[in-house]
C-alpha cells in the first residue's frame, strides 16, 4: 500500500484488490465478507449488497447516476443467484445542484426500479457545502432472495465455456463521450438491470458455474478475478469478443483497451461445455442478451491468455491504474 490513497485505488484493478486485502479485510473480515462476491450470502437464504456511485458527469448517453445506482445493486444481487427485492437509496447532494437535475435523476431511478421489479423502501439525504460534493453522490444497498445457490469461481472446471452476453466496454466509452474526451460519436451506455436476463439463463437448464457483471476493470479484470479465485486459467478468442466499432474506435483514439472498459448491462457466465449452446440460446432469446457469444474457455493454466486473430497471444492482467476513473 502507498502512504496515501490515489485514484488508482478506485479503479477496480490491482490497487483496489490491495486496498481490500491489506486494509478492509483485516479490519472487518468474516465468512460472508471474505468470500468477496458481488454480494454477501447470509443465513435465511438472503443476499445483501451495496454500492456507491460517483460517476461524472451525472448524465451521460443512455442513462444517469440514478439509473446507474439502481442497476448496479440490482445486478450485483442477480450475479449472486438472488432475486432482488428491496433497495435503499442515499443521496449526498452538493449545495447548488439544480433541482431539475435531481428530479430527473430520481425519476430515472424510480423508472429503473420499476422495470427491475424492486422497491426503494428506505434512504437518507445529506447536503454538503458548495465545492465539496461534485454535484451528487448516491449509495444504494439491496436485499434479495437467493434462488440459485452455489454460483462461485470455485465451481469452474477446465473446458468450461466463457460467455459474454453482448458487446464489451459500452458504458466506459459512453462516459468518455459525455466528458468531451472525444469530439463526436454515437455511443450509449449499456446500463440496464440484468436480473431477468440472469434468471432466464439460470432457469434454462444450463450448468452455470458463476456469473459476474464486468463493471470497473471491464471484461479482462473480471476474468482475471475468476482465474485467480479458481486457481485456473482462461483462454480468450479476441476475434470472438463482440465490441462495437464505435467503441473500438473511441478506445483506439484515446489509447484505451475496450476489454478494460466498463459495462453496466452485460454479464459474464462460465458454464459447463455441454451447456454452452443451451446457455447461448437462453441469452439470445432475451432482449438484453441478443449479442451473446462464447468468447473463451477455462484451462488448467493460471493465467488469462488472449489469442489474437493473427495467431499471437498476450497475457491479460487485472487493470493497473485508473484507465477511466469515476465511471460508476
Q: 20 in the Ramachandran plot: left (φ > 0), alpha (ψ -120 to 50) or beta?
A: alpha
Q: What share of the chain is helix, strand, coil (3-state, %, to 5)?
A: 35, 25, 40
Q: What is the pLDDT of residues 24-49, one digit of tens each?
A: 999 998 999 999 999 999 999 999 99
Tell me the CB-side half-sphere exposure of residue 138, using CA atoms within 13 A: 24
pLDDT of residue 287: 98
Q: What is the pLDDT of residues 190-224, one digit of tens each?
A: 999 999 999 999 999 999 999 999 999 999 999 99
* Matching fold, domains 15-146 and 153-316: no
Average pLDDT over residues 57-85: 98
Q: Could you give the angle at the alpha carbon of 317 between the alpha carbons of 316 and 321, nearest 5°?
A: 125
Query: Helices 65-79 and 195-202, interaxial angle, to 10°?
Result: 20
CATH class of the domain defined by 15-146: alpha beta
Answer with the residue of higher pLDDT: 321 or 15: 15
Could you give the CA distance from residue 6 to residue 173 in angstroms, rounded to a whole number?
23
Average pLDDT over residues 280-295: 99
Inter-CA distances, 267 with 132, 150, 166, 178, Å: 35, 17, 8, 24
Return mean pLDDT, the chain.
95
Whether residue 183 has pLDDT greater than 60: no
Average pLDDT over residues 67-91: 99
pLDDT of residue 28: 96
Average pLDDT over residues 307-321: 92
Tracing cell 458548495 back to the chain, one arrives at 130
Using pLDDT thresholds of 50, 70 and 90, give the confidence band for residue 284. very high
Beta strand 82-94 pairing with 119-128: parallel
Using pLDDT thresholds of 50, 70 and 90, give the confidence band for residue 319. confident
pLDDT of residue 322: 66
Q: For the ranges 101-105, 238-242, 317-321, which has the lowest average pLDDT?
A: 317-321
The domains of the chain are located at 15-146, 153-316
pLDDT of residue 181: 58
Whether residue 323 has pLDDT greater than 80: no
Using pLDDT thresholds of 50, 70 and 90, give the confidence band for residue 129. very high
Domain 153-316 of CATH type 3.30.9.10: no
Amino acid at each position: 500500500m502507498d502512504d496515501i490513497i490515489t485514484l488508482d485505488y478506485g479503479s477496480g484493478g490491482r490497487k483496489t484488490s490491495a486496498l481490500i486485502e491489506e486494509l478492509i479485510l483485516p479490519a472487518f473480515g468474516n465468512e460472508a465478507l471474505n468470500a468477496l462476491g458481488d454480494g454477501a450470502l447470509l443465513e435465511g437464504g438472503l443476499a445483501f449488497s451495496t454500492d456507491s456511485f460517483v460517476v461524472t458527469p451525472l448524465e451521460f448517453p443512455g442513462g444517469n447516476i440514478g439509473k446507474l445506482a439502481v442497476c448496479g445493486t440490482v445486478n450485483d444481487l442477480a450475479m449472486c443467484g438472488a432475486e432482488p427485492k428491496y433497495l435503499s437509496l442515499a443521496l449526498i447532494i452538493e449545495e447548488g445542484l439544480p433541482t431539475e437535475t435531481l428530479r430527473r435523476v430520481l425519476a430515472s431511478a424510480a423508472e429503473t426500479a420499476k422495470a427491475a421489479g424492486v422497491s426503494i423502501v428506505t434512504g437518507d439525504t445529506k447536503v454538503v457545502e458548495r465545492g465539496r460534493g461534485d454535484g451528487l453522490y448516491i449509495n444504494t444497498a439491496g436485499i434479495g432472495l437467493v434462488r440459485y445457490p452455489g454460483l462461485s469461481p470455485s465451481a469452474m472446471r477446465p473446458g468450461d465455456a466463457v460467455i459474454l452476453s453482448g458487446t464489451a466496454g459500452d458504458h466506459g466509452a459512453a462516459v468518455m463521450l459525455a466528458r468531451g474526451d472525444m469530439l463526436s460519436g454515437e455511443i450509449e451506455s449499456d446500463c440496464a438491470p440484468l436480473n431477468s436476463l440472469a434468471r432466464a439463463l439460470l432457469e434454462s437448464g444450463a450448468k452455470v458455474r458463476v456469473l459476474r457483471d464486468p463493471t470497473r476493470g471491464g471484461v479482462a479484470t473480471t476474468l482475471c478475478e475468476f482465474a485467480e479465485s479458481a486457481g485456473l486459467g482462461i483462454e480468450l478468442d479476441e476475434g470472438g469478443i463482440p465490441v462495437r466499432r464505435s467503441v473500438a474506435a473511441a478506445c483506439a483514439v484515446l489509447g484505451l483497451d475496450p476489454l478494460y472498459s466498463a459495462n453496466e448491462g452485460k454479464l459474464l457466465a462460465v458454464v459447463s461445455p455441454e451447456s454452452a449452446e443451451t446457455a447461448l440460446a437462453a441469452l439470445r432469446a432475451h432482449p438484453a442478451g441478443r449479442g451473446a457469444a462464447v468468447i473463451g474457455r477455462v484451462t488448467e493454466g493460471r493465467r488469462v491468455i488472449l489469442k489474437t486473430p493473427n495467431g499471437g497471444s498476450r497475457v491479460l492482467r487485472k487493470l493497473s491504474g485508473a484507465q477511466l476513473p469515476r465511471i460508476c
